Amino acid sequence: MVAIKFPRSALAIAAALLVLGAGLVLGTGTTSDDAYAAGAPITTSAAAPAKPAVSAVGALFADGNHFCTASVVHSAVGNLVLTAAHCVKDGMAFAPGYHDGVAPLGMWTVTSVAVAGGWTSSADPDLDFAFLTVRQPGNPASLESLTGANVLGTNRGFEHRITLTGYPDTADSPVVCDGNTTQSDSYQLRVACPGFPDGTSGGPWVTEGAVIGVIGGYQLGGDTPDVSYSPYFDDDIAKLYASVSG
């Protein structure tokens, strides 16, 4: 599959909130902060949580099967998960730390999804990311307090040493790879890591406690299991994060 590239100037970057179960897409109506409106780059700088992100990566489930990957990202409330926008569907649940067919912290229901307006309108591969809000009925603790979280890293350039994690559709434990990222296109990252087939979409690209990408974007993350892509995390994802992280 060859992804169609869209001019950045033609994209609507306003966030859109997808309310799962209701089948309703609502514009958030949020406006850019002063720095964003002035054209200055936004770099996230939230302090890293004290607890290490040992179980922050997990599998996304729907209809009893896992189909994509997601990870906990630091937020004030502590119930925010990051994945690829092309993974979004109705009836999702998140199993943090899923391994060997076991969900050690149970299933967390996805209650809402935030995607960029340019993804909603035209599936722009440079905006293939989504934030999921989750909850576990009867559990007063936040997800992040149990799993730890990565901070969101934006505007950090294209060359990094990362750890990539994902859940293949045919496996009940994650695959993990350390690799070096390069620039693939104006707003795309690339990494050569073997063994990342269908199901690993949404898997986080982590460096020094910050998630700087997810498997997605060009070719919906890559046509072969040995090369993966990610949209570049810049002001677009920073603005979307700001609309949901408080």
Q: pLDDT tens for residues 164-198?
A: 999 999 999 999 999 999 999 999 999 999 999 99
Q: pLDDT by residue (tens digit) across 71-125?
A: 999 999 999 999 999 999 999 999 999 999 999 999 999 999 999 999 999 999 9
- What pLDDT was estimated at residue 89? 97
Domains and CATH numbers, the chain: 12-44+55-148+235-244 (2.40.10.10), 151-231 (2.40.10.10)
CA 181, CA 162: separation in Å to the nearest integer?
7
- What pLDDT was estimated at residue 55? 83
Banded model confidence at residue 148, pLDDT cuts 50, 70, 90: very high
**Average confidence (pLDDT) over 222-233:** 96
- What pLDDT was estimated at residue 181? 98
Whether the per-residue pLDDT at 219 is higher than 90: the answer is yes
Q: pLDDT by residue (tens digit) across 7-54?
A: 333 333 344 444 333 332 323 222 222 222 233 333 333 444 444 445
Cβ-count burial 142-164 (b if 16+ within 10 Å, e if not)? bbbebbbbbbbbbebeeebebeb
* CB contact set of 58 (below 8 Å; sequence gap of 6+): 69, 70, 71, 72, 94, 95, 96, 97, 98, 103, 167
- What pLDDT was estimated at residue 117? 96
- What pLDDT was estimated at residue 246? 76
Banded model confidence at residue 230, pLDDT cuts 50, 70, 90: very high
User: What strand order describes the sheet that includes 227-231?
Assistant: 151-152, 210-214, 204-207, 161-166, 175-185, 188-192, 227-231
- What pLDDT was estimated at residue 222? 93
pTM, full prediction? 0.81
Banded model confidence at residue 150, pLDDT cuts 50, 70, 90: very high
